[in-house]
């Protein structure tokens, strides 16, 4: 595993890279203050198919900081997955569409109305759970309507569905990203 940080005007952007070196890159984003660990339950499965780059970006999180980490590591294009917040991944998809292969938005219940989603050309998948209170399926469906052509997968469970159903959630991501 390769760990490090790069200096950014807003603060240090930390990263951890693991998995297969010559596989497609998968960028994993988490909300500010959550660190690199929220995706940990899925790593054993994801690392079998991808070079996994987990990012811990400084506040306020922005796509430029995420893209700067990719630049520093010599990574041109990647799949992107965001947990809880989608703004960074969506802004990267709009501002640098050739660098975003596919998008997975996990547990995203609402989006900033000012986000211009018409420029998102990458295939997208939204993932939530039937018992989520922060991203209930009916709210995720509203996000889906704004992302033309996006798919939706609803897993059973509540807020902890990523940890509770890590194999199923990882399979959902892998099948979509490898399609």
Give the CATH number for residue 139.
3.40.50.1820
Q: What secondary structure letter does DSSP report for 41?
A: G
Mean pLDDT confidence for 141-169: 93
Q: Name the pairing type of β-strands 2-8 and 151-155.
A: unpaired
Higher-pLDDT residue of 102 and 108 is: 102
Q: Are 173 and 145 in contact (CB under 8 A)?
A: no
pLDDT digits (tens, 9 = 90+) for 47-68: 999 999 999 999 999 999 999 9
- Cα angle vertex 51, ends 121, 43, to 5°? 100
For residues 129 and 106, what is the distance between their CA atoms, to the nearest angstrom? 9
Domain count along the chain: 1
Q: Is the CA virtual torsion 124, 105, 146, 120 positive or negative?
A: negative
Residue 46, both tokens: 């994801």
Average pLDDT, rounded, for the chain: 94
Higher-pLDDT residue of 11 and 84 is: 11
Higher-pLDDT residue of 155 and 112 is: 155
Q: Print the domain residue range for 45.
A: 2-177
- Buried/exposed code over 120-157 (b: 16+ C-beta within 10 A; e: otherwise): bebbbbbbbbeebeebebebbeebbeebeebebbbbeb
């Amino acid at each position: 595993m390769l760990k490090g940080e790069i200096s950014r005007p807003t603060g240090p952007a930390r990263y951890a890279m693991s998995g297969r070196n010559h596989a497609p890159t998968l960028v994993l984003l988490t909300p500010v203050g959550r660190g690199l660990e929220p995706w940990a339950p899925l790593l054993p499965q994801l690392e079998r198919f991808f070079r996994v780059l987990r990012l811990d970006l400084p506040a306020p999180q922005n796509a430029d900081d995420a893209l700067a980490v990719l630049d520093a590591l010599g990574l041109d294009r990647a799949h992107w997955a965001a947990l809880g917040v989608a703004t960074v991944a969506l802004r990267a998809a709009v501002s640098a569409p050739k660098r975003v292969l596919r998008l997975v938005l996990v547990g995203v219940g609402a989006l900033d109305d000012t986000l211009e989603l018409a420029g998102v050309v990458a295939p997208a998948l939204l993932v939530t759970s039937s018992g989520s209170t922060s991203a209930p399926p009916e709210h995720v469906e509203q996000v889906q309507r704004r992302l033309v052509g996006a798919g939706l997968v609803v897993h059973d469970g509540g807020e902890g569905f990523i940890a509770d159903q890590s194999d199923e959630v990882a399979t959902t991501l892998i099948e979509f990203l490898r399609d």
